[in-house]
Amino acid sequence: MTGQQHDDRRKNAGVLKVQPYLADYEATRKTFSWDQARRGLSGLPGGRGLNIAYEAADRHAIGSQGRKEALRFIRADGSTYSLTYSELAFQSSRFASVLRGLGVQAGARVFTLLTRCPGLYIAMLGTFKNAGVVCPLFSAFGPDPIRQRLQLGTGQVLVTTKALYRKKVAPVRADLPDLRYILLTDADGAPEPGTLDLEALMASAAPAAGIAPTQPEDVALLHFTSGTTGTPKGAIHVHEAVVAHYATGRFVLDLHPDDVYWCTADPGWVTGTSYGVIAPLVHGVTVLVDEEEMDVDRWYRILADQKVTIWYTAPTALRMLMKAGAERAAGYGFPALRLIASVGEPLNPEAIVWAQKVLGLPVHDNWWQTETGGIMIANYPSMPIRPGSMGRPMPGIEAALVARDSEGKPVIEEGEVKLITESDTMGELALRPGWPSMFRGYLNDEERYRRCFAGGWYLTGDLAKRDKDGYFWFVGRGDDLIKSSGHLIGPFEVESCLLEHPAVAEAGVIGIPDPVAGEVVKAFIELKAGNQPSDDLRLEIIGFARKRLGAAVAPRLLDFTTGLPRTRSGKILRRLLKARELGLPEGDLSTLEQGSRRP
Ligand code: ATP
Ligand code: MG
């Protein structure tokens, strides 16, 4: 055995400790039904309906499980404190009581604008218990995106902190006539004028507010999309979504009772809610919550010291670790880790190779959207990973590829959408509606919702291919596709190739109009530490890509940059690269990460 192999064995000694829930993909797909998945949940006692908060907290609060750590928070100094399942159940019931005491009705939208603190989780579950609709906002949003979303969602209640209120809400408060209550989690007996002290209200609230008898189709969540392609849309989700969170938590994330689970997404985004709150709590595992922002050494320390067993993260975070260099992981061991999964953007094969080397495990990519509410396509723990592929559809999910015409519309033949049956042929990824976490509408935009469906399929707006074994391969977002000299080029393929060059840390690829070719491929490159931009390096990288991709697909143009524009959820904003390049309007920038703003 080589030293490296030995090291890998040591690092992932935990891999074989647990038998994956999905041991045989084909067999599980054949026998799976959503009804069967529903049986893994409890339902409200007395057959009174289905409520996410009951499944996530109260059903575990009974008996010895109640003393189990539900949420373990990591402070800036690395110390931790926890909430048990029974504390979470109790506190969220109190929060529901507060809402009830204030006269907040079922269906009212309760927004959260909080850092990752206990109040966030308590408010979310408490809102479900009062039959309200949770709308999480990302705490780094500025006043404008906050105002925009609160207005769109006619928020009646906002739960926030003193500092966030002062800085971001007070300046726009006058524009929010529907906002009846602002609850401060840290008012310390002295709420700001026009706000309420949540702790004081919690202390005096009746503790035993029961859970409102919500039904599976009652609205539970309003999530705004990342705004990668335009203005963020408000996707509406119902309590029934928890069935999909449960099933995907079991088959994709393989959540077992003793797991220590860490999802690095903020609950301000759908991943942070579906898989940072709901799915793991429904499975009764211990959920890690880092109160701080991403930091390379801190993250390695958390993975090692907290003995994380399952880690759900994003390509952008993995690329940041890669950029820092493998040596930064030296000295940390990850023997507890048994599964790494990733979502949000295409996962470059290079990241999988890197993780295997540095963390001792590969990364399992999966695909979904705010609209789908839960994971739809995945690489499962029991199946070999095909680097660069998103994997295969979840049991219970029927995925297909729809042929598109030259304008990007689905091809209809004899009243039916034309499905692509040949392998390795690109089409628009489509899903057969009917899974529990499918969005039930876009807020105030019925027409747009309707346009997402054709011939009995939900059209995702993403382009993909399927190989002969049924694995799906992401090509690009419909809007990002580059048409050059008769070729259709997906930016992901080009970016992944560029990342294989030793000097390249990040790459964003777009099409630039060209009178001869229609469009030519242009790449924007961030270099790894220790490399300087130069004409020679530019030519070298272009040459490197040509050798691998061929002249028709490789970038013709290449610029070096120090910061690609990204959404706050970490996605490269290609539409903004393009708008800046062509001097066009920059569009909605509410989700743009601060560091990527132009000076
Ligand atoms: P908007 O819809 O506002 O433009 P968005 O699509 O980025 O924003 P999300 O719902 O957060 O908002 O992201 C879903 C999209 O992210 C998918 O449609 C897909 O384009 C991309 N995505 C997610 N997971 C993957 C993956 N594993 N591989 C490739 N792309 C992915
Ligand atoms: Mg989208």
Based on the fold, state whether residues 488 and 552 are members of the same structural domain: yes
Q: Which atom of ligand 1 is nearest to the CA of 371?
A: 10
Q: Which atom of ligand 1 is nearest to the CA of 370?
A: 10
Is 225's C-beta closer than 6 angstroms to any atom of ligand 1? Answer: yes
Q: DSSP letter string over 58-99?
A: GGGSSGGGGGSEEEEEE-TTS-EEEEEHHHHHHHHHHHHHHH
Quote the pLDDT of residue 82.
98
The bound ligand whose nearest atom lies closest to the alpha carbon of 225 is: 1
Is 227's C-beta closer than 6 angstroms to any atom of ligand 1? Answer: yes
Quote the pLDDT of residue 273.
98
Distance CA 132, CA 125 (A): 10
CA angle at residue 498 from 492 to 501, to 5 degrees? 150
Quote the pLDDT of residue 591.
87
Ligand 2 centre distance from Cα of residue 113 (Å): 22
Distance CA 521, CA 550 (A): 12
Q: Which atom of ligand 1 is nearest to the CA of 461?
A: 18
Is 246's C-beta closer than 6 angstroms to any atom of ligand 1? Answer: no
Q: Which atom of ligand 1 is nearest to the CA of 366?
A: 27
Ligand 2 centre distance from Cα of residue 409 (Å): 17
Is 570's C-beta closer than 6 angstroms to any atom of ligand 1? Answer: no
Sign of CA dihedral 571, 574, 577, 583: negative
Is 274's C-beta closer than 6 angstroms to any atom of ligand 1? Answer: no
What pTM, to 2 d.p., does this model score? 0.93
By C-alpha distance, which of 551, 493, 498 is closest to 527?
498
Ligand 1 centre distance from Cα of residue 529 (Å): 29
Based on the fold, state whether residues 499 and 590 are members of the same structural domain: yes
Is 493's C-beta closer than 6 angstroms to any atom of ligand 1? Answer: no
Based on the fold, state whether residues 580 and 506 are members of the same structural domain: yes
405 lies in which domain range?
398-431+445-479
The bound ligand whose nearest atom lies closest to the alpha carbon of 235 is: 1
| Residue of 369, 472, 567 to test ligand 1 pocket, by largest number of atoms within 8 Å of CB | 369
For residue 14, is it within any domain? yes
Based on the fold, state whether residues 258 and 340 are members of the same structural domain: yes
Based on the fold, state whether residues 348 and 493 are members of the same structural domain: no
Sign of CA dihedral 377, 380, 383, 386: positive
Ligand 1 centre distance from Cα of residue 452 (Å): 15
For residue 40, is it within any domain? yes
Question: Cβ contacts of residue 446 below 8 Å, gap of 6+?
Answer: none
Based on the fold, state whether residues 279 and 387 are members of the same structural domain: yes
Distance CA 304, CA 331 (A): 10
Q: Which atom of ligand 1 is nearest to the CA of 377?
A: 27
For residue 155, is it within any domain? no
Q: Whose CA is nearest to atom 16 of ligand 1?
A: 344
- 185 within 8 A of 114, measured Cβ to Cβ: yes
CATH number at residue 518: 3.30.300.30
Low-confidence ranges of the chain (pLDDT < 50): 1-15, 597-599
For residue 93, is it within any domain? no
Ligand 1 centre distance from Cα of residue 344 (Å): 5
| Residue of 233, 273, 345 to test ligand 1 pocket, by largest number of atoms within 8 Å of CB | 345
Ligand 2 centre distance from Cα of residue 133 (Å): 21
For residue 254, is it within any domain? yes
Is 313's C-beta closer than 6 angstroms to any atom of ligand 1? Answer: no
By C-alpha distance, which of 138, 168, 133, 170 is closest to 154?
133
The bound ligand whose nearest atom lies closest to the alpha carbon of 591 is: 1
Ligand 2 centre distance from Cα of residue 431 (Å): 14
Based on the fold, state whether residues 409 and 540 are members of the same structural domain: no
CATH number at residue 426: 2.30.38.10
Ligand 1 centre distance from Cα of residue 227 (Å): 9
Based on the fold, state whether residues 575 and 497 are members of the same structural domain: yes
- 392 within 8 A of 471, measured Cβ to Cβ: yes
Question: Cβ contacts of residue 534 below 8 Å, gap of 6+?
Answer: none
Quote the pLDDT of residue 16.
52
Q: Which atom of ligand 1 is nearest to the CA of 390?
A: 27
Is 370's C-beta closer than 6 angstroms to any atom of ligand 1? Answer: yes
pLDDT tens-digit map of 370-382: 999 999 999 999 9
Distance CA 270, CA 235 (A): 10
Is 462's C-beta closer than 6 angstroms to any atom of ligand 1? Answer: yes
Based on the fold, state whether residues 252 and 374 are members of the same structural domain: yes
| Residue of 138, 149, 221, 228 to test ligand 1 pocket, by largest number of atoms within 8 Å of CB | 228
Sign of CA dihedral 159, 163, 164, 165: positive
Q: Which atom of ligand 1 is nearest to the CA of 474?
A: 29
For residue 523, is it within any domain? yes
Is 365's C-beta closer than 6 angstroms to any atom of ligand 1? Answer: yes
Largest CA distance in the chain: 72
Based on the fold, state whether residues 364 and 417 are members of the same structural domain: no
- 416 within 8 A of 455, measured Cβ to Cβ: yes
Based on the fold, state whether residues 370 and 262 are members of the same structural domain: yes
Is 232's C-beta closer than 6 angstroms to any atom of ligand 1? Answer: yes
| Residue of 451, 571, 578 to test ligand 1 pocket, by largest number of atoms within 8 Å of CB | 571
pLDDT tens-digit map of 424-464: 999 999 999 999 999 999 999 999 999 999 999 999 999 99
The bound ligand whose nearest atom lies closest to the alpha carbon of 428 is: 1
Q: Whose CA is nearest to atom 27 of ligand 1?
A: 367
Distance CA 243, CA 241 (A): 5
Q: Which atom of ligand 1 is nearest to the CA of 233?
A: 3
Number of domains observed in the structure of the chain: 3
Based on the fold, state whether residues 252 and 388 are members of the same structural domain: yes
Is 472's C-beta closer than 6 angstroms to any atom of ligand 1? Answer: no
Ligand 2 centre distance from Cα of residue 520 (Å): 25
Q: Whose CA is nearest to atom 13 of ligand 1?
A: 369
Residue 316: which H helix or E strand, with range?
helix 315-324
CATH number at residue 374: 3.40.50.12780
Tokens 């876009």: give the residue: 442
The bound ligand whose nearest atom lies closest to the alpha carbon of 439 is: 1
Three-state DSSP state, 82: strand
Ligand 2 centre distance from Cα of residue 575 (Å): 13
| Number of residues written out for the chain | 599
For residue 81, is it within any domain? no
For residue 113, is it within any domain? no
